[in-house]
Chains A and B, each alone.
Chain A
Amino acid sequence: MSSLQTTNLYGGYENHPVFKHLDLQLPEGKFLALTGPNGSGKSTLLKFFYKELTPDKGAIYINDLDIHTLSQKNLARRLGFVPQNGHIEYGFTVQEAVSMGRYAYGGKDENHQVEQAMEDCDIRDLANERVTEISGGELQRVFLARALCQNGNVLLLDEPVNHLDVKHQRTMMTLLKRLVEKNMSVVCVLHDLLLVQVYSDEVILLKKGNIYAQGATQKVICQETLRDVYKIESHQVYDATLNKTLWMPTWC
């Protein structure tokens, strides 16, 4: 069974269709990395999933339900989204910001869910801090907690580790991995091929609005695909701590 599916998806921005008849199925209960060069349509695809964009043709399904037939609140109960540069106007407290994730439920069971989400994202100590006064890494975890409060089984993330230092990158990715262990379907736009190989179970490699390759990460990320999609050379390195061989871009 797929968590998200598109059939014959056609659409994009005004006078600029990014996707022309895109068919894809995203796996359930796995960490899927969505990657590809700039402008390949990764973030645009997520916008279709949470209905910021509407397809000109074709359909999108979540857990086999056409999202067109779901209200925005109903969709929010199935799917959460963490933006690339999440922003909240004014100095809400962390707890107030996280509780916005319960909007689709009309505030029902708010306290318990908010506490749990803050616990999961390790931001309980920040509950009364203002979002304008915390670091970028902490703010990203606030947005993750807000999305988790929605209690959906699909989580979309658009480059969640952008602008984060290595330590916060690792914290965020480990958190996502833990969610997958709880049977959450995670769809994460990532540019960093190292993170893709270390953390994702499957990968979709997009190129100019089309799927170039989809499958198990170790099969898709290889010298040939990196050369074809990114026009770069790469080499293999062995990471003893992971006991994995990883493809690295050759920098010079």
Chain B
Amino acid sequence: MNTRISVVLFFLVCFLGLLALTLGPANISVLETIKILLGKGELDSQTYIIFSLRLPRVITAILCGAILGGAGAVFQASLRNPMADPFVLGVSAGASFGVALSITLGFSAFLGLPISALLGAVCTTLLIFLIGSKHRVSQTSLLLTGVAANYILSAAMTLLMFINHQHYERILFWTLGSFSSSTWEQVFYTFVCALIFFIPLFLHHKEMDMMLLDEGSALSGGLSLRRMRLFLLLLSTFAVSTCVSFFGVIGFIGLMAPHITRLLVGPKHKKMLLPTCLFGSLLLLGSDTLSRILLPTGEMPVGVITSLLGAPLFIWMLRKGRNSYV
């Protein structure tokens, strides 16, 4: 069942990817696009548009969607909280703040944006980890701490934009998220990051199942809970912060993809991790494509689309209560 769903999702991603390559101000047909991809394009301008502008964008959207979906599954398992994801808990905002602070203080030249994002995200994750590891911390308290961290970091970002007019647009980019300036260099780095993230992730599916047990059962069952939780959270933080450093904050993919997949294949991570990542790719690629074509005058930030899709799901989950939606 889950293999069939993964195959269907894979072909849907490929189909949507092909469709996304044809859409845009320059009208290029599906047939022409396939010819260009096979190296048989007739017009240099069309080949340039497909290979230099649209293809890197489509690939980065697919890779980021998969990373964000997988990271959502990790956060939900590690914190035993169905509503946890890097965006809701402020980890993406932490990465974004790290980038903005680095630009404002002029560190971005020698520190690099990915490192700045990583530092900001790791600090936020460690804060959440420390609070989440405490005894008797309720799921609601943890979630509210993340939401508060998100608010504080967003306010700090606004302050940075306010006091630093010359970097206003550059900082604003990271708060909204966009794939419009994707390059092949970013494709390469995102691909490497995805490999570093996915290999250990898929090897630790049993640990992720065990983390969904109460603490006593997980520990007595043989899981080194604290170590494993920290490892998986930091691994996801690294992957998410890389995405944020290139493409800004993109919300709710990490929340939507795992939940929709659980409804289809159940909660066992061996079955749900691959479809979750593919679903993340599909959602983000679909959102990015919509962001390009919805406005006749230009593009809207992809974060707006994902938030419009994800926020109602988040509210629905809050209203339904835990466990009743799986």
Known contacts A93-B266, A100-B209, A132-B326; is-contact A13 B135 (Cβ 8 Å): yes
A92 touches B266 (CB 8 A): yes
Chain B: minimal CB distance from A159 (Å): 12
Q: Once the chains are docked, how many angstroms separate the CA of A76 from the CA of B217? A: 10
Q: Judging by beta carbons under 8 Å apart, are A73 and B222 in contact?
A: yes
Is B215's CB under 8 angstroms from A150's CB?
Answer: no
The answer, yes or no, to whether B40 is at the interface (CB within 8 Å) is no
From A72, A89, A107, contact of B82 by CB (8 A)? A89
In the complex, which residues of chain A have a beta carbon less than 8 angstroms from the beta carbon of B284?
none
Contact B206 A107 (CB under 8 A): yes
Task: Specify which chain A residues have a CB less than 8 angstroms from the CB of B213 in the assembled complex.
Answer: 86-88, 100
**Are B266 and A91 neighbours in the complex by a CB distance under 8 Å?**
yes
B126 within 8 Å of A (CB atoms):
no
B201-230 interface bits toward A, Cβ cutoff 8 Å, 1 = contact, 0 = none: 000001001101111110111111000000
B207 to chain A: closest residue by CB: A103
**Interface flag for A247 (CB, 8 Å):** no
Residues of A within 8 A of B262 (CB): 90
Q: Is the interface of A mostly helix, strand, loop or mixed?
A: mixed
| Closest CB in chain B relative to A85 CB, distance in Å | 7
With a cutoff of 8 Å between Cβ atoms, the chain A residues found around residue B219 in the complex are: 50-52, 72, 81
Q: Describe B's contact surface by its main secondary structure.
A: loop
User: What 0/1 pattern do residues 75 to 98 of A give for CB contact below 8 A with B?
Assistant: 111011101011111111100100
Interface size on B, residues (CB 8 A): 26
Query: What's the Cα separation between A231 and B219 when bound, in Å?
Result: 36
Does A147 sit at the interface, judged by CB under 8 A? yes
Interface string of B73-111 (1 = CB under 8 A from A): 000010010100000000000000000000000000000
- For B268, what are the chain A residues with a Cβ–Cβ distance below 8 Å? 92, 96
The minimal Cβ–Cβ distance linking A53 to chain B, given in whole angstroms, is 10
Question: Are B220 and A89 touching (Cβ within 8 A)?
Answer: no
Q: Which of B77, B206, B210, B221 has the most CB of A within 10 A?
A: B221
Q: Which residues of B contact A10 (CB under 8 A)?
A: none
Residues of A near B326 (CB, < 8 A) are 90-91, 132
Chain A contact residues (Cβ within 8 angstroms of B): what range? 35 or more
Interface residues of A in 44-74 (CB under 8 A from B): 46-47, 50-52, 71-73
B272 to chain A, nearest CB (A): 10
Across-interface contacts of A132 in B (CB, < 8 A): 323, 326
CB of B310 within 8 Å of the partner chain: no
Task: Determine the chain B residues whose CB is within 8 A of the CB of A89 once the complex forms.
Answer: 77, 80, 82, 212, 267, 322-323
State the CA gap A150–B221 with chains docked (Å): 7
What residues of A have a CB within 8 angstroms of the CB of B267 in the complex? Answer: 89-92
Say yes or no: B221 contacts A103, CB within 8 Å.
Answer: yes
Q: CB < 8 Å: which of B212, B215, B221, B266 contacts A101?
A: B221
Give 26 CB contacts A-B under 8 Å: A47-B216, A50-B219, A52-B215, A52-B216, A72-B223, A72-B224, A80-B220, A83-B216, A86-B213, A87-B213, A87-B214, A88-B213, A89-B322, A90-B82, A90-B212, A92-B266, A92-B267, A100-B210, A100-B221, A101-B221, A103-B206, A103-B210, A107-B206, A147-B220, A156-B220, A158-B216
Residues of B within 8 A of A (CB): 77, 80, 82, 135, 206, 209-210, 212-217, 219-224, 262, 266-268, 322-323, 326
Q: Which A residues are within 8 Å of any B CB, using their own CB?
A: 13, 46-47, 50-52, 71-73, 75-77, 79-81, 83, 85-93, 96, 100-101, 103-104, 107, 132, 143, 146-147, 150, 156, 158
Given known contacts A86-B217, A88-B212, A158-B216, what 6 new A-B pairs fall within 8 Å (CB)? A13-B135, A86-B213, A90-B212, A103-B222, A143-B217, A147-B220
